[in-house]
Chain A
């Protein structure tokens, strides 16, 4: 009695399963590590508080308080009227002074608004913060 031999697999068949596995690993790696953030760099100028800035150019001090309150030269201004209040005073530059507890995002939002209105902005420490 002859038992037929099992059909032999052809040696030159391309086995794509492992190839596809490796490719999927690569695909997931690049999908997970690729960053699609749109980055920007906001140039910042640092004021030295009262001393150096005072004799060069009169500056407006804008204090940022926690909760989004804005104080322009010790008077509270509504956020909507900020640009108008600054334009009402003929001074060239605004020093933004964030108080403790103000998140950086609030500072960037205010700087954004002033830059959009072509107002020169620098950053400074709040009085008593140093």
Chain B
């Protein structure tokens, strides 16, 4: 019994120390895989885009016409930060580009696309 408890404690401490609980990682999206993406951690206020094209910012689902106001408020609070877009791998890429163009038109220059890194084949 005692060795089993010891082992279970070891596992517990391992998961507590190595697992990272980010709010952004709970986005209901399956990110695309990329070989070239530099390593990064998702921000809590990343922009989410589901496979059906719906958008959420800071965990709140938005209509398209609410997006610009929300992102402008974020930009005012974070003048230097890069906005992260966490989109599903199955999202229509044309829709992603359209949203990125709308962000650019509203003054958000720096955007990065979150991806799951994989090793080159």
Instruction: Give me the interface of A with B, judged by CB distance under 8 Å.
Output: 16, 20, 23-24, 26-27, 30-31, 33-44, 46, 48, 64, 97-108, 111-112, 115-116, 123-126, 129-130
Contact = CB atoms under 8 A, between A and B. Distances in A.
B21 A105 contact: no
A24 B92 contact: no
Interface residues on B, range: 35 or more
15 contacts: A30-B19, A33-B21, A35-B21, A37-B25, A37-B116, A38-B116, A39-B31, A41-B115, A42-B34, A98-B97, A103-B92, A105-B89, A108-B34, A125-B98, A125-B101
Given A24-B8, A30-B16, A40-B40, A104 B87 contact: yes
Given A38-B116, A38-B117, A46 B97 contact: yes
A16 B2 CA distance: 10
B100 A101 contact: no
Contact of B34 (A40, A64, A125): A40
Interface stretch (B60-68, B72-80, B106-114): B106-114
B18 A34 contact: yes
Contacts of B8: 20, 23-24, 27
B37 A40 contact: yes
Interface of B is mostly: mixed
Interface in B68-107: 82, 84-85, 87-94, 96-98, 100-101, 103-104
A130 B19 contact: no
A44 B38 CA distance: 12
Contact of A130 (B31, B91, B98, B100): B98
Contacts of A46: 97, 100-101, 103-104, 111
Contacts of B38: 40-42
A61 B59 CA distance: 35
Contacts of A125: 94, 97-98, 101
B103 to A, nearest CB: 8
